């Protein structure tokens, strides 16, 4: 298996290396293609654009009586190999340049009628250009004309001619340079591709091996890599997953241990009392009924435990749909408290309800009733020696706030966030009662989480606790 893993990752690293190398080759090939095959066309287009801009500059300089016009024409003529001519009503006005290093402009005079013909063919045009062969050299010449000024007696024309020299020699130089550049770039691409492929494949290989150990139950494993940000984020996500899996495994073990304990006690009692009925009280109706009552009560406790476990599981997996409706929270609370009258009559508990006559809310009535039952049962277990439990319903903005308070031992501040956990036991005084399933507050939390509403607990050690939740207010 290990050799197979090594082989797989070698192939991944090889593929990454090939991909990086192919990208480098593609980029170099694109540069070759653009430079070699498009250089001629690009040169001609840029030359035409340059001549057109120059013609407009000379035209503007002439119309504004710019004194630098002659100097500008001379500069372009000698340094940039341009040929200029101006004509008014068929008569030349200016010839530049006139020296031994360049061809005199009159050799291009036969192209002027064609330029004028192109311009005059379209009244909306004031300029024209075309390429032609000079005949003696193996290159073309660009001819350009524009109307500087229109008058009743004729038009003032500007003509510009410039050779379009072949770029074969330039291409030869570029090819030679590109060859060495390509060789150097390919070498660098080879090295960079190898480094990148190793840098990417190494942390992935390490994370895969760690994930394999994680799958075998080694939850303490950590994904510590130092690579690109995406891989680092993946490692952080896997670390979080490992932590959550460890917590889930611990909760599962705690759940199994607590459920085993909770089931063992009633099962032991059921067996013991069943044996007593068989051996001792079978013929005594009074003792037999007492023993049977214990068996029935313990069976009911087991049923409640299984029911609570099923409820928590279904809620945590979001398999329960809420059936929301408008109802009176005050009436619902009063009904729940009335079911605890036996605690008032037999054990001296004192329930105080302070609530408006009508508190209409929108929620799942059955689920809220179950939550209030669980909160009340929790308050009964930890209400303190005075056995006083205060229930308050009041307005809080656009919500109704339900509070149930006791004067019991309270909860340490560092332990408050954990009271909603299943089977949680505090360090000292918040110990789960033997008569409950240990899932009551966990069910309450799931109910309010499904409702997307606020809830919490306020407590001071030695002064009691107040559990609260809020529901959306509904106006009549």
Radius of gyration of the chain (CA): 47
Q: List phi, psi (to 5°) of 114.
A: -65, -40
CB 435 within 8 A of CB 332: no
CA dist., res. 251 & res. 422, Å (int): 8
User: In this predicted structure, what is the pLDDT of residue 255?
Assistant: 66
User: In this predicted structure, what is the pLDDT of residue 174?
Assistant: 67
Residues in the chain: 476
- 443-467 core/surface letters (b: 16 or more CB in 10 A; e: else): bbbbbbebbebebebebeeeebbbb
CA dist., res. 278 & res. 158, Å (int): 129
Helix (H) or strand (E) holding 78: helix 69-79
H helices of 80-227, in order, are 112-121, 168-215
Beta-sheet pairing, 399-406 with 155-164? unpaired
Q: How far are the Cα atoms of 36, 41, 128, 286 from residue 45, in angstroms, in the given order?
A: 15, 6, 14, 115
For the chain, the maximum distance between any two Cα atoms, rounded to a whole number of angstroms, is 146
Closest to 441 measured CA to CA, from 387, 392, 383, 370: 370
Terminal Cα-to-Cα distance of the chain (whole angstroms) = 70
3-state secondary structure of 389: strand
Residues 6+ apart with CB under 8 A from 349: 340, 343, 380, 383, 387, 388, 389
CA dist., res. 208 & res. 387, Å (int): 58
Closest to 28 measured CA to CA, from 181, 197, 170: 181
CB-facing half-sphere around the CA of 48: CA atoms within 13 A: 12
3-state secondary structure of 32: helix
CA dist., res. 52 & res. 61, Å (int): 14
Q: List phi, psi (to 5°) of 122.
A: -130, 105
pLDDT tens column, 246-259 = 777 776 776 676 66
pTM of the model: 0.47
As given in the structure block, the two tokens for residue 319 are 């398999």
Beta-sheet pairing, 360-364 with 350-354? unpaired
Q: List phi, psi (to 5°) of 429.
A: -105, -10
CA dist., res. 363 & res. 472, Å (int): 8
Burial label for 74, CB within 10 Å (0-12, 13-18, 19+), is middle
User: In this predicted structure, what is the pLDDT of residue 326?
Assistant: 94
User: In this predicted structure, what is the pLDDT of residue 331?
Assistant: 94
User: In this predicted structure, what is the pLDDT of residue 161?
Assistant: 87
Closest to 392 measured CA to CA, from 381, 382, 379: 379
Per-residue pLDDT of the chain (476 residues; tens, 9 = 90+): 444 444 344 555 666 667 777 777 777 777 777 666 666 667 778 888 888 888 888 888 888 887 777 777 777 776 777 888 888 877 776 544 444 334 455 667 788 888 888 888 887 888 888 888 765 556 788 889 998 888 877 888 888 888 877 666 666 666 677 777 777 777 777 777 777 766 666 777 767 777 777 777 776 777 666 665 666 677 777 777 777 777 777 767 766 766 676 677 677 777 877 887 777 776 777 877 877 877 787 787 677 777 767 776 666 666 677 889 999 999 999 998 988 887 888 888 999 999 999 999 999 998 898 899 889 988 888 887 888 999 999 998 889 999 999 988 888 888 887 787 766 655 444 443 445 556 778 888 888 888 889 999 998 888 889 999 999 998 76
pLDDT tens column, 19-30 = 777 777 777 777
CA dist., res. 208 & res. 223, Å (int): 9
User: In this predicted structure, what is the pLDDT of residue 400?
Assistant: 94
CA dist., res. 280 & res. 164, Å (int): 124
pLDDT tens column, 74-103 = 777 767 778 888 888 777 765 444 443 344
As given in the structure block, the two tokens for residue 359 are 């508190």
């Amino acid at each position: 298996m290990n050799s197979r893993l090594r082989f797989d990752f070698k192939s991944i690293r090889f593929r990454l290396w090939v991909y990086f190398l192919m990208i480098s080759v593609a980029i170099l090939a694109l540069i070759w293609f653009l430079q070699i095959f498009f250089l001629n066309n690009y040169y001609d287009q840029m030359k035409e654009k340059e001549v057109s801009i120059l013609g407009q500059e000379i035209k503007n300089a002439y119309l504004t009586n710019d004194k630098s016009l002659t100097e500008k024409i001379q500069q372009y003529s000698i340094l940039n190999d341009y040929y200029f001519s101006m004509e008014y009503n068929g008569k030349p006005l200016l010839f530049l340049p006139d020296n031994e290093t360049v061809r005199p402009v009159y050799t291009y005079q036969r192209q002027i009628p064609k330029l004028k013909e192109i311009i005059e063919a379209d009244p909306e045009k004031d300029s024209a250009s075309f390429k032609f062969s000079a005949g003696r050299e193996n290159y073309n010449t660009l001819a350009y004309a524009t109307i500087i000024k229109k008058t009743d007696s004729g038009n003032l024309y500007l003509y510009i001619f410039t050779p379009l020299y072949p770029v074969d020699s330039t291409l030869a130089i570029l090819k030679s340079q590109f060859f060495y550049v390509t060789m150097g770039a390919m070498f660098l691409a080879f090295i960079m591709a190898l480094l990148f492929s190793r840098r990417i494949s190494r942390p992935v290989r390490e994370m895969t091996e760690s994930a394999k150990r994680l799958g075998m139950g080694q939850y303490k494993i950590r994904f510590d890599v130092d690579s690109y940000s995406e891989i680092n984020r993946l490692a952080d996500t896997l670390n979080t997953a490992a932590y959550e899996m460890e917590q889930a495994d611990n909760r599962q073990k705690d759940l199994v241990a607590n459920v085993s304990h909770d089931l063992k006690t009633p099962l032991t009692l059921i067996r013991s009392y069943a044996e007593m009925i068989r051996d001792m009280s079978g013929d005594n109706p009074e003792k037999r009924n007492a023993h049977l009552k214990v068996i029935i009560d313990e069976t009911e406790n087991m049923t409640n435990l299984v029911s609570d476990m099923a409820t928590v599981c279904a809620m945590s997996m979001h398999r329960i749909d809420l059936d929301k409706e408008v109802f009176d929270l005050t009436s619902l609370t009063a009904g729940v408290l009335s079911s605890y009258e036996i605690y008032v009559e037999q054990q001296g508990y004192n329930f105080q309800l302070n609530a408006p006559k009508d508190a209409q809310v929108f929620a799942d009535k059955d689920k809220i009733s179950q939550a209030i039952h669980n909160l009340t049962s929790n308050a009964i277990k930890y209400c303190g020696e005075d056995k006083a439990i205060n229930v308050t319903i009041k307005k809080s903005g656009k919500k109704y706030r339900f509070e149930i308070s006791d004067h019991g031992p309270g909860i340490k501040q560092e332990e408050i966030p954990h009271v909603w956990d299943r089977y949680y036991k505090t360090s000292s005084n918040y110990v789960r009662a033997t008569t409950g399933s240990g899932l009551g507050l966990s069910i309450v939390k799931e109910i309010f989480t499904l409702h997307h509403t606020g809830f919490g607990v306020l407590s001071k050690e030695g002064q009691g606790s107040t559990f609260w939740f809020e529901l959306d207010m509904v106006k009549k």
